[in-house]
Amino acid sequence: MSAAAPRAVVELDRVSRTYPSGTRALDSVSLTVAEGELVTLLGPSGCGKSTLLGIAAALQPPSSGAVRWWGEGPGRIGTAGHRLAMVFQSATLMPWLRVASNVRLPLDLAGIERGAGDRAARAALARVGLAGFEASYPRELSGGMQMRASIARALVTEPDLLLMDEPFGALDEITRARLDADLLALWAGRGAGQRLTVVFVTHSVYEAVYLSQRVVVMSARPGRLAGEVAIDEPYPRTDDFRVSQRFASHARALQQLLARATEAAAR
């Protein structure tokens, strides 16, 4: 048991997905994400990122290929040590529930007692900078605040695997940079015993470089893995890193990979 490779949290083995409409969204994609990793999926719009994430979240089955979570089927997802949460591309809050109740929802569904749920919801809201908005309705929040509430809802279950589908895609540059930094703090802040694994979808090259240990680039129609780039940089990553020489060279490498992938798809 010496220096064994970290456990795989989610493994996709030659996964394809064809929608009933006939669209081939994913074509034989194999991807393994290890425990504690922060991996980014980068690709143009419509290349199947959301589809891949949906399959990794066990929300839809692959048309062919296999998916394993912690080495087994989807049966144990949701139990201690195997918790999974997803932040969708839009906030998907229930408009008839107050923010705190929205955040508490996963706990309510799991039958956790209301008082404990409320405490956890308040803590999660504080973590995303929404302390004091517990009693508001989603429509009283700005778009960015709604997105943060939806992140709080994902965090409230203390997930082991966090899937994020362009969570900051609709936000302005300033807010996005802050939330990116918050995400890194959150990811790094987990104790050694329980490490948070993150799969993050984006179509921003810069966001990918700033966040990830590893960037997986996808090409479109059908969605395939075009390659990956390791971002071998230390954490915590500072704002200086964003404007460094090394940052630029990583971004260039990614851009070239993306361009080649897009070209190949066009041919």
Ligand X SMILES: Nc1ncnc2c1ncn2[C@@H]1O[C@H](COP(=O)(O)OP(=O)(O)OP(=O)(O)O)[C@@H](O)[C@H]1O
Buried b (16+ CB within 10 A) or exposed e, 34-65: bbbbbbbbbbbeebbbbbbbbbbbbeeebeeb
**Residues from 99 through 138 that contact another protein (CB under 8 A):** 105-106, 108-110, 137
Q: Report the largest interatomic distance among the alpha carbons of the chain, rounded to a whole angstrom.
A: 58
Residues near 112 by beta carbon (within 8 Å), at least 6 away in sequence: 120
**Residues from 139 through 178 that contact another protein (CB under 8 A):** 139, 157
**39 counts as binding another protein under rule CB under 8 A:** no
Pick from 98, 120, 88: nearest CA to 107: 120
Instruction: By CB under 8 A, name the one of 90, 136, 213, 262 that touches another protein.
Output: 90
Give the chain's radius of gyration (CA, Å): 18
Phi first, then psi: what are they for 178, rounded to 5°? -70, -45
**Binding-residue pattern over the window 37 to 56 for ligand X, x denoting contact by CB under 6 A:** ------x-xxxxxxx-----
Cβ proximity of 214 and 37 under 8 Å: yes
Stretch that binds another protein, among 6-14, 80-88, 177-185, 217-225 (CB under 8 A): 80-88
d(CA 153, CA 243): 32
Instruction: By CB under 6 A, name the one of 2, 21, 79, 245 that touches ligand X.
Output: 21
**25 counts as binding ligand X under rule CB under 6 A:** yes
* Minimum separation from the CB atom of position 248 to ligand X (A): 24
Pick from 38, 85, 88: nearest CA to 200: 38
Instruction: By CB under 5 A, name the one of 50, 63, 136, 262 that touches Mg ion.
Output: 50
Contacted by 46, from ligand X, Mg ion, another protein, none: CB < 5 to 8 Å by type: ligand X
Stretch that binds ligand X, among 19-27, 78-86, 121-129, 153-161 (CB under 6 A): 19-27
Tell me, what amino acid is at 33?
V
Tell me, what amino acid is at 110?
A
Residue number with CB closer to another protein (120 or 225): 120
Binding interface with ligand X (CB under 6 A): 19, 21, 23, 25, 43, 45-51, 89, 203
- Where does this chain bind another protein (CB under 8 A)? 54, 57-59, 78, 84-86, 88, 90, 92, 94-97, 105-106, 108-110, 137, 139, 157
